[in-house]
Amino acid sequence: MRAALVIAVLVGAAVRPLPAQQFTLGAGYSLADYREQAAFLHFRGSGPTATLAAERGRLALRVDGSHLSLDPSGDAGSSLESFTVDQFSVRLGVRTMTLVGVEAGFFRRSTSPGRAAQSYSAATLGLRAAYPLAPGADVVLRSAYVAGTDFSGGGSAPFGIELGLSAAYGPGSGRVRLIANPATTSAQVIQLDLVASERLEVSTFFNGPGSFSAGMNLPLDTTRVGAGSPLFTRGAALPAGTGVPASIGVIGPDHVLYAGVSRKRIPGTIATQDTDVAAGQVFYSVRLKLTQTGAVGTVFDGAQPMAMFRAAVRDQFGDDFVGQSDIGVGKLEIR
C-alpha cells in the first residue's frame, strides 16, 4: 500500500470582522437557580440571553443582557410569588498582557414585581484571563471586586467578589488560514501556505492596528513527516526590509514546527509600521515530506486541542491583530 499526504482545511462561518476590529453578536437561552439567605427562598427558571462584544487592539467592550422568569421551588413554593428578572451588564477591558486584561464594569438587576425580590446595581473592577485551547476554543476566567452595591430594599454590601468561568468552542472566521498549495504538492511532499483569506486592513483610526508579524507553533508527528526542501519560504504579505529578513522556519527537537515572519522595526516613534495585507497574500510557506517509515495516521489536527499550538498575526506593539481563534488550521494525515 502506498502512503500519501492528505490535508483537509476546516472552514467555519462567523460574523465577518470589521476592519481592524472584531465584532460579535450572540444569543442564547439560560437556566437559572436563585436563592436568598433563608432556605425557603428558592426559585428556578429560564429565559433568553443576548451578548454584544467588540474588540479593537488592546480594548474590549462586552454588553450582556438576559430576561429570566423564575418560579418558587421547594416545599414553601405555594406561599411565594413568581417574578421576572432583567439583568444588564457592560464591561470595558484593556489587555495588559497576552492573556490577561483589566476590566471595569457596571451591573444592574431589575425584578418585577419589586416586592418579590430585590433589585440592585453595582460597579465592578477586576481581571479577565483568556486561555486558548485550540483554534476556535478557549476558556475564560474572571474575578472582580464588587463595589457601590445599591439595593432597592435599602442597605448596601460593603464588599463583594464576582467569580466567573466560561468555555467556548466554535469555528473561527478563518481570517488567516493554513492551506495546501496544490501546485507544489504531491503524494510524498506537501506545501502549506499561511494565507490571508480576507483583506487585513490597517485602520485609519490612530494609524492602526495592522499586520506587523505572523507566526505559528504547530505540533507535528515527526515519525510521519519531516522537513522538505526547502522547509521554509518567506511570502510577500509583509515587506522584508533591507538586509537579512526577519523570518524563521524550523522543526524543533520538541516536534513543533516553528515558523514566522516579521517586518523590521524602523527606529523612532513611527506609528505607521503596520501593513495592509490583501486577500490571498501569503505570509510564508512550509514544505513537509513523508518519511520512509511513515505509517498511516494523523500528522496534526487543528480540530483537536494541541498543547504547544500557538498562532497569531500581531501589530507593531506586539498585540494580536488576528487572534488564534481566527486562524484556520485543518487536518493533515497519511492515508
Looking at residue 302, its pLDDT comes to 87
Is the pLDDT at 307 greater than 80? The verdict is yes
Cβ–Cβ under 8 Å, residues 84 and 112: yes
Is the pLDDT at 172 greater than 60? The verdict is no
Q: Tens digit of pLDDT for each residue in 101-113? A: 899 999 999 999 9
Contacts with 322 (C-beta within 8 Å, 6 or more apart), sequence order:
175, 176, 200, 211, 214, 312, 313
**What domains does the chain contain, in order, with CATH numbers?**
5-15+173-334 (2.60.40.680), 22-169 (2.40.160)
Reference 189, options 10, 332, 11, 301; nearest CA is 332
Chain position carrying cell 418560579: 71
Looking at residue 274, its pLDDT comes to 80
Work out the angle at residue 140's Cα, subtended by the Cα atoms of residues 138 and 146, and round it to the nearest 5 degrees. 170
Kindly state the helix (H) or strand (E) to which residue 217 belongs, with its residue range: strand 213-219
Looking at residue 271, its pLDDT comes to 60
Task: Give CA separation, 213 vs 197, 260, 323, in Å.
Answer: 16, 7, 12
168 forms bridges with which residues in the sheet? 138
Q: Tens digit of pLDDT for each residue in 218-265? A: 999 999 999 999 999 999 999 998 889 999 999 999 999 999 999 988
Query: pTM value?
Result: 0.59
Assign 47 a pLDDT band (cuts: 50, 70, 90): very high
- CA torsion angle 70 72 74 75 (round to 10): 180
d(CA 215, CA 301): 18
Looking at residue 269, its pLDDT comes to 59
Assign 167 a pLDDT band (cuts: 50, 70, 90): confident
Comparing 81-95, 141-155, 160-174, 245-259, the range with the smallest average pLDDT is 160-174
Comparing 4-8, 196-200, 302-306, the range with the smallest average pLDDT is 4-8
Is the pLDDT at 13 greater than 50? The verdict is no
d(CA 163, CA 147): 14
Is the pLDDT at 39 greater than 50? The verdict is yes
Q: What percent of the chain has pLDDT over 90?
A: 40
Q: Tens digit of pLDDT for each residue in 129-158? A: 887 665 556 788 999 999 878 788 777 777
Contacts with 118 (C-beta within 8 Å, 6 or more apart), sequence order:
111, 151, 152, 153
